[in-house]
Amino acid sequence: PARNTIFLSLALAWAEVLGAADIFIGVNALDYSGYPDCRPEYIEAFERMANLATKATVEGEMSIRIQTPLIHMTKAEIIRKGVQLGVDYSITHSCYDPEPSGKSCGECDSCLLRKKGFHEAGLHDPTEYLHQ
């Protein structure tokens, strides 16, 4: 819930310290329905706010840009790109409602999107789910 606001706020603070103009976040269009802070409109609004929030942007020394390289990719495309980049999906976690042991529930929106993405990519999902 509104976690991208937190992620982007922390990234903005760190970007200001570093003098960085670009902030990257992995939001995705498929998440729009359950996660409104993944919408392009939200990202654009945050970018406008970010450019009103730092000394360097207000003084015209730089502009902050929020980069969303995954926003128009399908989950299958994202998973395939991860494989190309050498991502070890056995150490990644998507579940919003894991068991105390850490096992993914298999039923939350995030688990369902992940399972669908691996299926559509034609790849094995190494995640162990409580509910297959």
Rounded to whole angstroms, how far apart are CA atoms 99 and 45? Answer: 35
107-126: pLDDT as tens digits: 998 899 999 999 999 999 99
Do 81 and 46 belong to one domain? no
Do 54 and 86 belong to one domain? no
Do 62 and 28 belong to one domain? yes
In a domain, 130, yes or no: no
Tracing tokens 């070890």 back to the chain, one arrives at: 88
Indicate the SS3 state at residue 61. coil
In a domain, 127, yes or no: no
Do 39 and 23 belong to one domain? yes
In a domain, 107, yes or no: yes
Do 63 and 79 belong to one domain? no
Q: Please, which pLDDT band fits residue 87 given cuts at 50, 70 and 90?
A: very high
In a domain, 129, yes or no: no
Domain assignment of residue 79, given as a range: 75-121
Do 62 and 80 belong to one domain? no
Do 104 and 63 belong to one domain? no
Q: What is the pLDDT of residue 31?
A: 61
CA-nearest of 52, 46, 50, 48 to 20 is: 50
In a domain, 128, yes or no: no
At residue 83, does pLDDT exceed 80?
Answer: yes
Average pLDDT over residues 38-48: 95
Tally the domains of the chain: 2
Average pLDDT over residues 11-22: 98
Do 15 and 59 belong to one domain? yes
